[in-house]
């Protein structure tokens, strides 16, 4: 009958010392380190906001309406956004409006399930803030442009409304009287005096020379003057000589 192998060891003073194998070390389970977010405070050298990890559990609590988590989120990111906007805007009202708009858009995205990387919550909020700020810049630029445009449209302080209305009325009356003249007289007066065309071009169109153009213009002016007097009882607008 075979004897079992003796346990390796040695005898000392009647005692058998047995050397047992050391237990294998327990396998180490690596726990991923949370992503920490921090931000330096402006004008406060050596001071920092507290490190803050963001993970899926934090986003879940935020989404479920956990009061302490929402309070922490508003306080933490409210400070960061205020620092960011305060370095770019001078109006306290604008800073607060943009901060609230950033929070509004974030919570809308949160409840719509659009937060896909909880560990990058900080950059996500920052990107929303950037978009809100850019929209504010564009809106301010458009408002300034519209204000300048409206200001340019305003009449000067010496603007004479009555005289302007009279001038418009005379212009309307002139057009009506021109329509009542012969086609040749109407064309001559419109092209020479209203459109201010080059007289040599007018001569080529009518097949006449400059001297005869003077004669025709004189006749057209006389016809217009007679018609104007009949319709208004006033002298017509003055014309420059042809």
CATH number at residue 187: 1.10.10
Q: Is residue 159 part of a domain?
A: no
Shared domain check, 199 and 177: yes
Q: Is residue 6 part of a domain?
A: no
Band of pLDDT at residue 14, cut at 50, 70 and 90: low
The domain in which residue 72 lies consists of: 36-151
Closest to 199 (Cα-Cα) out of 177, 216, 182: 216
Point out the domain boundary residue: 125, 151, 177.
Answer: 151
Angle (CA) 207 212 213, round 5°: 75
Band of pLDDT at residue 25, cut at 50, 70 and 90: low
Shared domain check, 147 and 170: no
42 vs 225, more confident: 225
Band of pLDDT at residue 151, cut at 50, 70 and 90: low
Residue 179 neighbours by CB under 8 Å, 6+ apart: 186
What was the pLDDT predicted at 58? 92
* pLDDT tens, residue by residue, 29-53: 444 444 444 444 444 444 445 556 6
The sign of the CA dihedral 206, 207, 209, 215 is: negative
Q: Is residue 10 part of a domain?
A: no
Q: What is the C-alpha radius of gyration for the chain, rounded to an integer number of angstroms?
A: 46
Q: DSSP letters of 4-60?
A: PPPPSEEEETTEEEE-PPPPPPPPPPPPPPPPEE--BPTT-TT-BPPPEE--HHHHH
What was the pLDDT predicted at 210? 86
Structure tokens of 160? Answer: 């004479």
């Amino acid at each position: 009958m075979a004897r079992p192998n003796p346990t390796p060891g040695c005898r000392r003073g009647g005692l058998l010392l047995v050397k047992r194998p050391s237990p294998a070390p327990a396998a180490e389970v690596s726990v991923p380190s949370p992503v920490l977010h921090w931000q330096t405070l402006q004008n406060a050298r050596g001071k920092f906001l507290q490190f803050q990890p963001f993970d899926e559990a934090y986003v879940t609590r935020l989404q479920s309406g956990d009061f302490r988590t929402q309070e922490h989120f508003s306080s933490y990111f409210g400070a960061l956004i205020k620092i960011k906007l305060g370095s770019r805007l001078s109006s306290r009202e604008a800073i607060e409006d943009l901060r609230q708009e950033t929070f509004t858009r974030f919570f809308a995205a949160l409840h719509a399930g659009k937060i896909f990387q909880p560990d990058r919550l900080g950059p996500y909020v920052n990107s929303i803030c950037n978009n809100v700020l850019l929209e504010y810049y564009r809106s301010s630029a458009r408002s300034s442009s519209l204000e300048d445009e409206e200001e340019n449209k305003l009449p000067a302080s010496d603007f004479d409304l009555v005289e302007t209305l009279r001038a418009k009325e005379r212009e309307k009356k002139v057009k009506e009287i021109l329509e009542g003249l012969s086609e040749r007289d109407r064309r001559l007066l419109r092209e020479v005096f209203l459109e201010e065309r080059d007289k040599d071009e007018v001569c080529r169109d009518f097949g006449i020379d400059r001297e005869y153009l003077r004669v025709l213009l004189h006749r057209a002016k006389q016809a217009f003057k007679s018609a104007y007097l009949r319709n208004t009882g006033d002298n017509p607008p003055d014309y420059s000589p042809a």
